[in-house]
Structure 1
Amino acid sequence: MFKKILAATALLFAVVSFAAVDVNKGTAADLDGIKGVGPAMSKRILDARKESEFKDWPDFMQRIKGVKEKKAAKLSAEGLTVNGQGFGGATAAAAAPAKPAKAPAKP
């Protein structure tokens, strides 16, 4: 019985640790909890958010100094979202044309 309780508690902590943080809703502490976001970046995010909420990842990258595609991808992988979307989410997938499938090689 104790092992089941311990396992359930560990699972709960694992789920909570991977919870996404939205840049438009997260507090400074929430943002600091994302690996790659320190106090200076969380302050820049909160200051920019006072002007207006972030519309999407390109808007976020344009307004936050030091965040380009590579950094945005890492932050997204750590759980940061913009309006609930990860970097390269549905909007990026829709904009990119689909690659045609390769034809099987002839024997």
Structure 2
Amino acid sequence: MLKKILAVMAMLLAAASFAAVDVNKGTAADLDGIKGVGPAMSKRILDARKEGEFKDWPDFMQRVKGVKEKKAEKLPAEGLTVNGKAFGGHAGEAVASKADKPAVAAAAKPAKP
């Protein structure tokens, strides 16, 4: 009987340790627990999250330095989600909006006489 109880407890602990961590809700410790996310990246995630919650993966990839499509494909397998969703491979939106930023920033600067 004791062996069965210990086995059930071990299975529950194993399941809890692989629980998904949402970037909008996870603490620094939660994020550090994800393979591929270290202390530096978890700090960048938390800093970017101060500006507002991440809407989706492209928003996350645009705002967090070091997260590109290749890394975004691996993180959900380790338990990371954005609003409860795994990466769906639609990074084109993030790349397009990044490409538009320099043009917008250049247009916003006043011309020098």
State the TM bucket, normalised to the shorter chain: 0.7 to 0.9
Determine if the alignment matches structure 1 residue 76 to structure 2 residue 76.
Answer: yes
**4+ long deviations beyond 2 Å:** none
1:66 matched residue in structure 2: 66
1:49 matched residue in structure 2: 49
Q: What are the Cα deviations for residues 44-88 of structure 1, in whole angstroms up to 9, with x where unaligned?
A: 000000011100001001111111111011111100000010111
Structure 1: distance between partners of 2:21 and 2:73: 14
Structure 1: distance between partners of 2:3 and 2:86: 35
Q: Which runs of 5+ in 1 are unaligned?
A: 93-107
Shift in Å at residue 29 of structure 1? 0.5
Q: Which runs of 5+ in 2 are unaligned?
A: 91-113
Number of matched pairs: 90
Shift in Å at residue 43 of structure 1? 0.4
Paired letter, 1:57:
W
Once superposed, what is the RMSD of the aligned Cα atoms?
1.2
TM-score by length of 1: 0.80
SS of match in other structure, 1:51: coil
2:9 matched residue in structure 1: 9
TM-score by length of 2: 0.76
Determine if the alignment matches structure 1 residue 20 to structure 2 residue 20.
Answer: yes
Structure 2: distance between partners of 1:52 and 1:79: 22
